[in-house]
């Protein structure tokens, strides 16, 4: 594995303005923020994704090449574009990071892990089917739907006004967690950001 090979950080979401503020699109929000930090602009890629290439970390040998990606397929077809990008940039699966919403974690809570199941998340299910499960996940808690609301309805709704008050803070923290994972490794990122 080349020391300077890039990391592929994939924000999971659905393309189109009607989905932009949805809970299911928090992965897009996180990679958008990292792109802003590195002053990158997303461009269309032949792999049916929007990508930004850049570097994170301090100047010099400690920084890392990073490819930020937003698949432009719908969530349940994310695996195709992600696998095409992984192949195009020659990224080993253990340097792929999926940033996604997670129902079984309280709102705003982060958990980072390597590998595991998809927990019913269609974006992860598609990625795992395409390339196996041994990629990193940055799981952004959105909590469970209230009352009898269906999960599909809940994830495709925008964050509530109460949630939006803290959303920028939580997205910022998730972006920090991604950068820590890429620069310092999973254990350091888990000890700093898993809550």
53, two tokens: 């290439």
Which stretches of the chain are assigned E, i.e. beta strand? 7-11, 43-45, 49-56, 64-71, 96-102, 110-114, 136-141
What is the Cβ-side half-sphere exposure of residue 4, based on CA atoms within 13 angstroms?
Answer: 6
d(CA 125, CA 103): 15
Closest CA to 12 of 161, 167, 118, 115: 118
Active site residue 24: yes
Catalytic residues: 24
């Amino acid at each position: 594995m080349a020391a300077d090979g890039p990391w592929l950080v994939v924000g999971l979401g659905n393309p189109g303005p009607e989905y932009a503020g949805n809970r299911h699109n928090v992965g897009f929000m996180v990679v958008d923020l990292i792109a802003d930090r590195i002053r990158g602009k997303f461009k269309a890629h032949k792999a049916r994704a929007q990508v930004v290439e850049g570097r994170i970390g301090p100047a010099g040998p400690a920084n890392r090449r990073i490819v930020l990606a937003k698949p432009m397929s719908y969530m349940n077809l994310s695996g195709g574009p992600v696998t095409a990008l992984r192949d195009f940039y020659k990224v080993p699966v253990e340097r792929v990071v999926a940033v996604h919403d997670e129902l079984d974690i309280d709102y705003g809570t982060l958990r980072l892990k390597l590998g595991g199941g998809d927990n019913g998340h269609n974006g992860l299910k598609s990625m795992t089917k395409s390339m196996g499960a041994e990629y990193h996940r940055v799981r952004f808690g959105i909590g469970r739907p209230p009352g009898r609301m269906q999960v599909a309805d809940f994830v495709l709704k925008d964050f509530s006004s109460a949630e939006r008050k803290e959303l920028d803070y939580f997205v910022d923290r998730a972006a920090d967690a991604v950068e820590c994972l890429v620069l310092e490794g999973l254990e350091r990122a888990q000890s700093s950001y898993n809550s």
